Structure 1
Amino acid sequence: MDYKLIYTPVARDLADVEANLSDLTEQWRSDFPELHAMLHHVLRGGKILRPALTFLAGRCIDGVTSRMLNMATANELLHIATLVHDDAIDKADFRRGRETANKLWGVEKAILLGDFLFARASEFAATTHELRVVKLFSSTLRIISVGELKQARAAFSLEQSLQGYMDRIACKTAALLKMSCESGAILAGGTEEQIQVLSDFGFNLGLAFQIVDDILDFTGTEVELGKPVGSDLRQGTITLPPLLLMERYPAANPISDFIRGVARNNKIAEAIDMIKSGGFIEESYRHALKYSTQAQEMLNRLPESPYRGALRALTDYLIERRV
């Protein structure tokens, strides 16, 4: 199913988010043309998943308000800012087949662009005038930063564990999807139980989403991914599929050899082949399915509605997607 069809119940709300992003870009057209060009490049073409979660979670409880629109916009800007910084840190030239900001304007300007987006996201969050949401935004940004630091510390390290991996993706991905759902529930006036249900839904969905993303890094093609197959591993980031391989063959495996600097290109190719043929993709999907099932169980605690149905369909889509 096309994800845009799943978004149908909140299509008008998402159009308002895109209008906010367009306005943010256009206001710099004459005053600062280079910033306008940078914003135009990074603020278009995304799946706007986080705003969709905010609106769908909010509408599961009540209607949408301008405060919810501002928070949905903040969630998307925060997400894009993290991508801009990730690409700059990784010195990535492409994301999803498009040139990155750091390739076009340099790492220094890309970092500053990410900072600008973080600032604007904070401003949009503040305009909700809901202290609980502003605190949630701040704590989520802190959690994401800690996750990035943990990933940097673990790069090219043989000291890896499943718990360490789960901690990293909880910080890097699940925290933002959790905030997207939780903030929508808060701004819709949900009860504490409803807020917790949607928060837990977003967190578990985020874990499943990131595991699938890490699987696709090995099963997708370079054309589909817009980057080399196994690019995370090439940068020293041990995600779930290679971690499972290392756990099964602790004494000798191509990933350990790669990290030690032994014939790296050959070892990467060998690791990718073993991951694909050794059942590690299927085992990784079982982990993802566990968390997506937990997310679906959270939805069972909410009243039936087109919005709850869309969240359920979105959960299925994110697990079954190929890119």
Structure 2
Amino acid sequence: MKFNFLYPSIQKDIDEVENELKLAVSDADAETISEAALHLLTAGGKRIRPMFVCLTARLGEKYEPVLSRSAATSIELIHMASIVHDDVVDDASLRRGRPTIKSMWGNHIAMYTGDFLFAKSLEYMTRVKIEKAHLLLSQVTVELAVGEIEQIKDKYNFEQSVRSYLRRIKRKTALLIAASCGLGGIIADLPEKLDDKLYLFGYYVGMAFQVTDDVLDFSQDEKKLGKPAGEDLSQGNVTLPVFFAMQDPLLRKRIERVTETTSKEEIEHLVEAIRGSGAIEKSEQVATDYLNKAARILDEFGNRKEVKPLRQIIKMLDKRDY
């Protein structure tokens, strides 16, 4: 899903960020790592995080394109690094329809590629001479790491609570999107109250984004997902559709038998059962509720033209199917 066609005014920003990402991963002294990072970059992506930085940075009296693009590049590099590490932990072979770095170069190269991308993100943030921005990004990155550890600890734990799931996706996904919006507000030099509102807006969008991702893991096929349907369940990651599906006692018993050795055929049968349980629709409503909360926050910014693209993104996210 590409969003930038909605607002040509930031096309230059997105193009510049894309160029900076290519420069960031191109390092003659680290040829193998650079090749691996470029493999991930060219697989594409929604670039929703840098987009939010550039859009929210426009809400101030004066737009700072250089600072915005640097912060946007940094936050996308953090996201890319987390993806690489995620694929190692999950032993994932496909990402965005292409082989993962770990499946092509092995775990060692993949882990160091992730570290390389994290280091590059720090390099780009040095261009933003605002202490508050650095504190925000460092805090969120710590939370991201904690979220990843929580996911590892809770694999195949079908007794965990929905609250644990929501806290985990907040740390793994929502806070980085929240930081994207908060960084834009900081760069725009908005009053702290408004910057906090943007951060909360991003949090709600991020929660909806991850819940929708978890829904799509069951509702779409491998061709559209770029990975096998039901892969989260197969890897032991208990997501919102699974919680809703386990409200059916018989289906819960089947789901609780899932382990690392569960066959692909059984996962496929479970995917079909979850699709027919009403869990998808209930989860979609949760995502919509989060987006509605995000939309209400934007009401506090009035009818400014800079707010319109943010509203358009909410509408598109509510309809996305990949």
Normalising by structure 2, what TM-score? Answer: 0.94
Match of 2:320 in 1: 321
Q: Which moved more, 1:212-221 or 1:66-75?
A: 66-75
1:154 maps to 2:115: no
1:127-276 to structure 2, matched below 5 A, reads: 127-249=127-249, 252-259=252-259, 264-265=263-264, 267-276=266-275
CA distance in 1, matches of 2:182, 2:250: 40
Unpaired runs of at least 5, structure 1 = none
The 1:2–1:147 alpha-carbon spacing in structure 2 relative to 1, beyond 3 Å, is closer
**CA 1:187–1:255 in structure 2 vs 1: closer, same or farther (change >3 Å)?**
same
Instruction: Supply the AA of the counterpart residue of 1:309.
Output: K
CA distance in 2, matches of 1:57, 1:4: 14
Relative distance call for 1:97 and 1:305 in structure 2 (3 A) is same
Give the Cα–Cα distance (whole angstroms) in 1 for the partners of residues 260 and 251 of structure 2.
Answer: 14
User: Matched residues in 2 for 1:114 and 1:321: separation?
Assistant: 28
What are the within-5 Å matches in structure 2 for residues 73-112 of structure 1? 73-112=73-112
Once the two structures are superposed, residues 53-107 of structure 1 have per-residue CA deviations (whole angstroms, 9 ceiling, x without a partner) of: 0011111234133222211111100000000111111121110111111111111
Describe how 1:6-85 pairs up with structure 2 within 5 A. 6-26=6-26, 28-29=27-28, 31-44=29-42, 45-62=44-61, 63-85=63-85
Matched-pair contact (CA < 8 Å) for 2:94–2:100: yes
Q: How far apart are 1:196 and its partner, in Å?
A: 1.1
Following TM superposition, by how much is the alpha carbon of 1:307 offset from its aligned partner in structure 2, in angstroms?
Answer: 2.6
* Structure-2 change in CA distance of 1:34 and 1:241 (3 Å): same
Identify the range of structure 1 (210-219 vs 159-168) with the bigger mean alpha-carbon deviation: 159-168
C-alpha distance 254-133 of structure 1, shift in aligned 2 (>3 A): same
Query: Percent of aligned pairs with the same residue?
Result: 33
Q: Tell me how large the CA RMSD over aligned residues is.
A: 1.8
Structure 2's unaligned 5+ residue stretches are: none
Residue 113 of structure 1 is matched in structure 2 by: 113
| C-alpha deviation, 1:313, in angstroms | 0.8
Q: Say whether the 8 Å CA contact 1:236–1:259 is kept in structure 2.
A: yes
**Match for residue 278 of structure 2?**
279
- Cα separation, 1, equivalents of 2:41 and 2:64: 23
Moved more, 189-198 or 118-127: 118-127
1:265–1:254: structure 2 CA closer, same or farther, 3 Å change rule?
Answer: farther
Structure 1 CA distance for aligned equivalents of residues 243 and 227 of structure 2:
21
**Residue pair 1:81, 1:114 contacting (<8 A) in 2 also:** yes
Corresponding residue pairs, total: 320
Between the aligned partners of 1:41 and 1:23, the Cα distance in structure 2 is: 13
Number of the residue aligned with 2:290: 291
Letter of the aligned partner of 1:241 in structure 2? P
Q: Deviations over 1:157-215 (max 9, x none)?
A: 12221111100110000010000000110011001121011101000000000000000
Cα distance in 2 for residues equivalent to 1:267 and 1:99: 24
Does the Cα contact within 8 Å between 1:61 and 1:185 map onto a contact in 2? yes
Pairwise CA distance, 1:5:
1.5
Runs of 4+ in structure 1 over 6 Å off: none
The one-letter code matched in structure 1 to 2:99 is: E
